[in-house]
Structure formats: structure tokens, C-alpha cells
């Protein structure tokens, strides 16, 4: 029976080796994602069960075992108990890591959307402030012009009052009575009536202008108050966007510094890519089954191979196809290309078509999908501002959006895919020759 303790000890060594590997699938050697707590629990429990069973058999089948063997068995039993506690701690750690991975992926997506909302609200407030500035300037110009006209009217009215005072001093009856004839009398009375009526109209116009000036000044005060309110809100939104940007950068730093979170981010991107595949397939089937049978451009998209221009000016930093993450040693596949550009740079449609998707897509930020007819589609992701809506027609080289920075690494740039029949192809094969491209070695993973 002496072999049983040795076998039990061998099993114990196996379990201890698993513990030292943290039951995580040997991250860094194979590129595998961490094992789930359930798998770790099953492996550990199975091995401990074997160990416990063997120790029990040793007690049952060797009643005459030497004291040394019984001592060895007791020692192994104590080690098994301690190992059981260690495995429970490892299970708790794995569950915590799994929660962290889920939390970080959700937090990264939420941060990107929140930053986008803050930026849009900030841009809207800036536009409102600019419009208020123009309105205030226009109102101030109107007030200045009206004030000049009122001063001129007051000066003219002052002269008329002097003339009326003189007429009044001379006496209206005497003025009329001094006429040499009836005809002159009638003419003088008519002229005097016209003068007085004109003076009355001038006086009323002056009073109306003064009332308008008072209203304009009140309106100007309201505009200035609204400007102060909008400026305060703009500053708060700007601060919120700044805090959200810092929060996102901290999340990205946290991901870069922890391999298991990087693996979780890659896995999330894979899930997003599969979801995008399904979305494009669904949109394509819907377009083909529609009344128009999908978009039909004047020039077939298939005739544009080797003639297209990139959708944005910039350096292509990541290529289409399989790649291995340099830090994680993990294999992945990129269904499109990434073009580095400044946030806010214009994004152009590579060919005429019709918008079939324009919304936020998890893992891709703001996305536009254009149907070019003939079952050809292009995808534009990580956009800042989107200028088109679903069913809008677009022309080749028309600006449809601007570059954003909602990619996984927080850098500004455009993610672009070309999909005939919903299946991704290398866009570079369709671009005009002479476009700068990086080598496979230099094309490190960026946004996706």
C-alpha cells in the first residue's frame, strides 16, 4: 500500500502546479483567454476528489500500515485541506477577474458614448453661443441706428416747435386774416393744416421709435442674460467632457497594464465584429427584398476596383487580415483597415450609394453603412459627427461624417470595411495605386 501515498502525492503535485498557473489557461504562452471559474472549480474538485478517495482507500485497505505511512497520509490530508482552501481563493479571484473584465468592457463602451454625448452637447451650445453673439451684435447695431434717427427726429421736432411757437405768438387768426383774397385765405388755411398734420405724424413716429428703442434695449438685455446662461452651461459641458476624457484615458491605461483586461477587450471586439456581420447581413437581405431591390448606382461598384480613393486623408496604420497582438501573443482578425486622422477631419463616401445604417454600434462607435448596389457595402466606424440619415442618397466623394476617437485605444482615426455580399475584403485592393500603406510588421493593432 506504500504506492498509494506516493500516487496521492503525485496528484497533489499536479494540483499544486495548476494552482501555480492560477488556473487561467496559461495566459502569455498560448494566448488563450482565462479559464472560467466553473472550469477551474471542476478541475480542482476532481483532482481533490481523487486525492481524498485515494487517501480514504489507503486508510481502509491498510489497517496495519506503519506509523510512518499513517503520518504521511495524515500530512497529505492536511495538505489537501489547505489546497482546497487555496482553490476556493483562486475561484474567488477568477470570479473577481471575470467581473472586472465584464465591468471594464461595459465601462469602456459607456465612457465612449458619454464622451460622445458631452461633445455633441458642447458643440450644440457653442453653435447657440455663436448665434447669440451674432444676434446681440445685430441688435446693438439696430439700437445704434435707431438712436441716431431718434436724435435727428428730436432735433427736427425741436425746430418745428420753435416755428409753431412763433405762429402761435403771431396768432393763427391774424395769419389767416392778413390774406389779400379769399383764395389766399383758403390756401393759407390748407397749408397750415398740412403743416400741423405733418408735425403730428413726425411726433407720433418719434414716439414709436422711442418705444421701439426701449423694447430693443430690453431685448438686448434678455439676449445677454441668455448668453450668460448658455456660456455657463457650455463651460460645465466642457468640464464634463474633459472629465469623461480623463476617465476614458484611465480606463485605457488600466486595460494596457493588465493582460487579462486586454484579452477581454479583444474578446469584446470579436463579439462586436460578429454582431456587425449579422447586422450587415440583415440590412443586405432587407435591401434586396425591398421594393427597389437595393441601390442601383449609375456606375457599378464592381467597376471601381483599383480606382477608389481612401475615405479620409491620413496614414493607414492597420491592415486587413489576421494579426498577432504583440504584447498578448494573441491571434485576431481585422475585417477592415484603420486610417489615422485628426478628430473632426472630413470622411467621404468612396462611391455613390444610399445610407442603410446610421447609428451607434457597440464596439464601433458611430457607424455609417452605405449600400452601393450589386451587394457591395462600405462601413465607416468611430465617427464623430454624422451628416446623413438612413435612406439618404450619397454621391462619390461626398462628405458624410467626421473622424472621431471612440476606438478601443482612444486614438483618432477611421475604421473602414468593404463588403461584397456582406463578406469583408481587403479595401487596399480596391484603392487607387500609389496610396501609402504600412508593412505587415508595422501594422500594429490600433482601434480594433
The domain boundary residue, chosen from 238, 257, 276: 257
Residue 260 · residue 158 · CB < 8 Å:
no
E-assigned strand segments in 239-334 = 315-318, 321-324, 331-334
Assess whether 327 and 243 both reside in one domain. Answer: no
- Domain final residue pick, 257, 279, 313: 257
Distance of alpha carbon 329 from alpha carbon 106, whole angstroms: 24
Q: What is d(CA 431, CA 50) in angstroms, rounded to the nearest whole number? A: 62
Q: Are 351 and 216 in the same domain?
A: no
Nearest one of 112, 96, 90, 101 to 42, comparing CA atoms: 90
Q: Give the pLDDT score at 22.
A: 46
For the chain, the C-alpha Rg in angstroms (whole number) is 41
37 touches 104 (CB < 8 A): no
Q: Is residue 446 part of a domain?
A: no
Query: Looking at residue 331, what is its pLDDT?
Result: 74
Q: How many domains does the chain have?
A: 2
- Please tell me whether residues 357 and 415 are part of one structural domain: yes
Q: Which pLDDT value is given to residue 215? A: 87
Nearest-angstrom CA–CA distance, 205 and 150: 9
CB-CB neighbours of 14 under 10 Å: 13
Answer yes or no: do 235 and 313 share one domain: no
Read out DSSP for 252-267?
A: HHHHHH-HHHHHHHHH
Please check whether residues 317 and 249 belong to one and the same domain.
no
Q: Is 274 contained in some domain?
A: no
Question: Is 275 inside a domain boundary?
Answer: no
Is residue 246 located within the same domain as residue 303? Answer: no
**Domain of residue 337, CATH code:** 2.70.70.10
Domain end position, chosen among 229, 257, 285: 257
pLDDT of amino acid 34? 43
pLDDT of residue 350: 96
Tens digit of each residue's pLDDT, the chain (448 residues): 445 555 555 555 555 555 554 444 433 333 334 444 444 555 555 555 555 555 555 555 555 556 665 666 567 666 666 666 665 665 555 555 555 555 566 666 777 777 778 788 888 888 888 888 898 898 888 888 888 887 877 777 666 665 555 555 555 555 555 655 656 655 655 665 666 677 677 777 778 888 888 888 888 888 888 888 888 888 888 787 777 777 777 766 666 566 555 565 666 666 767 777 778 777 777 766 554 555 666 788 999 999 999 999 999 999 999 887 655 556 778 899 999 999 999 999 999 999 999 998 888 889 999 999 999 999 999 998 999 999 999 999 999 999 998 765 567 899 999 999 888 999 999 998 866 555 544 454 444 4
Range of the domain at 334: 293-429
Is 127 a member of any domain? yes
Q: Identify any residues that bridge with 369 across adjacent strands, giving them in sequence order.
A: 357, 379
Q: Same structural domain for residues 134 and 48?
A: yes
240 and 305: one domain?
no
Q: Are residues 167 and 122 in the same domain?
A: yes
Residue 235: what pLDDT?
84
Residue 283 within any structural domain of the chain: no
Q: Using the structure block, give the residue that is written with the C-alpha cell 427726429.
A: 153
122 lies in the same domain as 238: yes
CA angle 368, 335, 409 (to 5 degrees): 75
253 shares its domain with 302: no
Residue 444 domain-assigned (yes or no): no
250 and 332 fall within a common domain: no
Domain presence at residue 436: no
Q: Identify any residues that bridge with 338 across adjacent strands, giving them in sequence order.
A: 318, 415
Q: What is the pTM of this model?
A: 0.55
Structural domain includes residue 114 = yes
Amino acid at each position: 500500500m506504500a504506492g498509494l501515498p506516493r500516487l496521492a502525492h503525485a496528484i497533489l503535485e499536479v494540483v499544486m502546479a495548476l494552482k501555480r498557473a492560477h488556473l487561467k489557461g496559461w495566459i502569455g504562452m498560448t494566448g488563450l483567454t482565462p479559464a472560467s471559474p466553473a472550469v477551474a472549480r471542476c478541475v480542482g474538485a476532481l483532482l481533490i476528489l481523487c486525492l481524498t478517495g485515494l487517501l480514504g482507500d489507503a486508510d481502509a485497505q491498510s489497517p496495519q500500515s506503519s506509523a510512518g505511512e499513517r503520518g504521511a497520509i495524515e500530512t497529505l490530508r492536511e495538505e489537501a485541506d489547505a489546497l482546497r482552501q487555496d482553490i476556493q481563493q483562486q475561484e474567488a479571484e477568477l470570479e473577481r477577474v471575470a467581473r472586472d473584465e465584464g465591468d471594464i468592457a461595459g465601462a469602456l463602451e459607456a465612457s465612449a458614448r458619454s464622451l460622445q454625448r458631452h461633445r455633441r452637447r458642447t458643440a450644440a451650445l457653442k453653435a447657440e453661443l455663436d448665434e447669440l453673439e451674432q444676434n446681440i451684435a445685430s441688435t446693438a447695431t439696430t439700437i445704434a441706428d435707431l438712436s441716431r434717427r431718434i436724435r435727428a427726429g428730436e432735433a427736427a421736432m425741436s425746430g418745428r416747435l420753435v416755428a409753431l411757437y412763433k405762429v402761435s405768438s403771431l396768432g393763427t387768426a391774424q395769419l389767416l386774416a392778413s390774406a389779400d383774397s379769399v383764395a389766399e385765405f383758403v390756401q393759407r388755411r390748407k397749408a397750415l393744416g398740412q403743416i400741423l398734420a405733418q408735425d403730428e405724424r413726425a411726433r407720433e413716429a418719434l414716439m414709436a421709435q422711442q418705444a421701439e428703442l426701449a423694447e430693443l434695449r430690453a431685448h438686448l438685455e434678455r439676449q445677454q442674460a441668455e448668453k450668460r446662461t448658455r456660456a455657463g452651461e457650455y463651460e460645465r459641458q466642457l468640464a464634463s467632457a474633459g472629465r469623461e476624457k480623463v476617465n476614458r484615458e484611465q480606463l485605457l491605461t488600466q486595460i494596457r497594464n493588465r493582460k487579462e483586461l486586454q484579452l477581454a477587450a479583444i474578446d469584446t471586439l470579436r463579439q462586436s465584429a460578429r454582431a456587425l456581420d449579422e447586422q450587415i447581413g440583415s440590412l443586405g437581405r432587407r435591401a434586396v427584398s425591398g421594393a427597389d431591390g437595393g441601390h442601383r448606382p449609375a456606375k457599378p461598384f464592381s467597376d471601381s476596383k483599383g480606382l477608389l480613393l481612401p475615405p479620409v486623408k491620413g496614414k493607414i496604420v492597420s491592415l486587413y487580415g489576421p494579426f498577432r497582438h504583440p504584447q498578448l501573443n494573441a491571434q485576431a482578425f481585422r475585417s477592415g483597415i484603420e486610417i489615422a486622422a485628426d478628430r473632426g477631419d472630413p470622411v467621404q463616401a468612396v462611391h455613390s450609394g444610399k445610407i442603410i445604417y446610421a447609428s451607434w454600434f457597440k464596439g464601433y462607435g458611430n457607424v455609417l453603412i452605405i449600400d452601393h448596389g450589386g451587394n457591395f457595402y462600405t462601413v465607416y466606424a468611430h465617427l464623430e459627427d454624422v451628416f446623413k440619415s438612413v435612406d439618404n442618397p450619397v454621391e462619390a466623394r461626398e462628405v458624410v461624417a467626421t473622424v472621431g476617437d471612440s476606438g478601443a485605444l482612444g486614438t483618432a482615426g477611421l475604421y473602414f470595411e468593404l463588403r461584397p455580399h456582406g463578406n469583408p475584403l481587403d479595401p487596399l485592393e480596391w484603392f487607387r495605386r500609389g496610396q501609402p500603406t504600412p508593412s505587415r510588421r508595422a501594422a500594429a493593432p490600433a482601434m480594433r
